[in-house]
Amino acid sequence: MKASVNQPQKLAFAPVAPPKPPAPPITEQTLKIKSGDTLMAVLVNAGVNRTEAHNSIEALREVWDPRKLRPGDEITVTFDAAAAQGDEVFKGFSFEPQPALRVGAVRETDGAFAPAEEKAPVLTQAYRAEGTITASLFQNGVEAGVPVAVLVELIKAYSYDVDFQRDIQPGDSFEVMFERESTEDGRTVREGDVHYAALTLSGQRYEIYRYEDTTGDVDYYDAKGHSVRKALLRTPINGARLSSGFGMRRHPVLGYSKMHKGSDFAAPTGTPIYAAGDGVIAKSGPFSSYGNYVRIRHNSEYDTAYAHMSRIAKGMAPGKRVKQGDVIGYVGSTGRSTGPHLHYEILKNGKHVNPQKVRFPTGRILEGTELARFEETMGETRSVYASLPSATEVAAAK
């Protein structure tokens, strides 16, 4: 429009900004920890002087042990190229030792270093998985998406009742509900607790529920509120490491016979062997055809014995007190043995009994208000489980 063309141009006078000092250029270096590196060496290599490197590491120590640094961790080192000083000032460093956690040290205005710790929000979610056992609970569990840590916990909880070498048959099945903590961007922080599991072995169903009692003790109970914990373990070895009992052509004896008097568990050499129950070491050392042998006296009635060990754990001398689950030795093939396995015996009043048949006295039984609380927890657990899609369904839907 003509009119507008002839109008004098209006000039806007912007207020003059007061002169600002130029923002100090902050520079960052990211350095990957290599095997054998110390944090000190990494900081010094980045150009930090030794005193400041030392002081900043001391600050870190309040929130994180620098010795826990692992190869592959990435350290971000920050400098401020302050013009006035003509030299770079070390501002601090940080790294992420695990998802959802950043730790480090920050230089404060007085020049001292303060520890820094930043936690990202963590989401806890329940997951459900189920499957049929064709190889082993461990292998089929992994295939069904159950994390290894969860399977290990699960197998441990069942080791009082289940003989993982003999009781698991092809076609048996499992169900499990566990928790996973993850960051908002989907990285796993922690594989959490097993809340519920069921094993169906040769048609018999074994359910376990996680329950925290009124005193804060956490344990697994069956649906009647009986603790899974027994005085002795039926599988005194990490069940996750057992070679599959079925489908193997060559195998040690693997059963109980009058002549054999024990149960064999086939596992790789070096697999830890656990004390089946609390007790005192009664005998330890080479013992004729048993090879390296340990016997534990549990009470006036029961003893257990472990044979063919590659070696006996340190300190397991007669008289030594052990707790259920303590490592007493390692699987081997010493003595009269055809391959690495644990030969496990249970003796009652000095006589061998069949470990597969012996009934252990039940452990804790919940009663009264404790039982009522447990039943409430069990009800909630069951309804959460029923509401979750199974891992198999989730995989199929994708």
Nearer to Zn ion, 275 or 307 (CB): 307
Nearer to Zn ion, 256 or 374 (CB): 256
Q: CB of residue 264 vs Zn ion: minimum separation in angstroms?
A: 4
Residue 160 and residue 116 in contact, taking contact as beta carbons nearer than 8 Å: no
Distance CA 111, CA 126 (A): 46
Q: CB of residue 307 vs Zn ion: minimum separation in angstroms?
A: 7
Q: CB of residue 351 vs Zn ion: minimum separation in angstroms?
A: 17
Nearer to Zn ion, 165 or 381 (CB): 165
Which single residue brings its beta carbon nearest to Zn ion?
343
**CB-based contacts of 24, cutoff 8 Å, min separation 6:** 80, 81, 82, 83
Nearer to Zn ion, 50 or 336 (CB): 336
| Residue 85: Cβ within 10 Å count | 9
Nearer to Zn ion, 128 or 343 (CB): 343
Q: CB of residue 166 vs Zn ion: minimum separation in angstroms?
A: 13
Nearer to Zn ion, 153 or 264 (CB): 264
Q: CB of residue 212 vs Zn ion: minimum separation in angstroms?
A: 39
- Using CB under 5 A, list all residues that contact Zn ion: 262, 264, 343
Nearer to Zn ion, 262 or 291 (CB): 262
Six-digit token pair at 369?
A: 């208000």
Distance of CA 371 to the CA centre of its chain: 29
Q: CB of residue 195 vs Zn ion: minimum separation in angstroms?
A: 37
What are the backbone dihedrals phi and psi of residue 288, each rounded to the nearest 5 degrees, phi first?
40, -130
DSSP H helices, 46-83, are 50-60
Q: CB of residue 262 vs Zn ion: minimum separation in angstroms?
A: 5
Element (H, E) at 211: strand 204-212
Distance CA 79, CA 91 (A): 5
Residue 312 and residue 285 in contact, taking contact as beta carbons nearer than 8 Å: yes
Distance CA 243, CA 245 (A): 6
Q: CB of residue 302 vs Zn ion: minimum separation in angstroms?
A: 19
Q: CB of residue 296 vs Zn ion: minimum separation in angstroms?
A: 17
Q: CB of residue 308 vs Zn ion: minimum separation in angstroms?
A: 7
Nearer to Zn ion, 175 or 264 (CB): 264
Residue 342: C-alpha distances to residues 17, 270, 306 (Å): 82, 11, 7
Nearer to Zn ion, 141 or 262 (CB): 262
Residue 48: helix, strand or coil by DSSP? coil
DSSP 360-373: PPP--B--HHHHHH
**CB-based contacts of 63, cutoff 8 Å, min separation 6:** 103, 115, 116, 117
Nearer to Zn ion, 302 or 344 (CB): 344
Six-digit token pair at 292?
A: 């390296």
DSSP 234-299: SS-B-GGGPPPSSS-SS----S--TTT-SEEEE--TT-EEE-SSSEEEEEEEE-GGG-EEEEEE-S
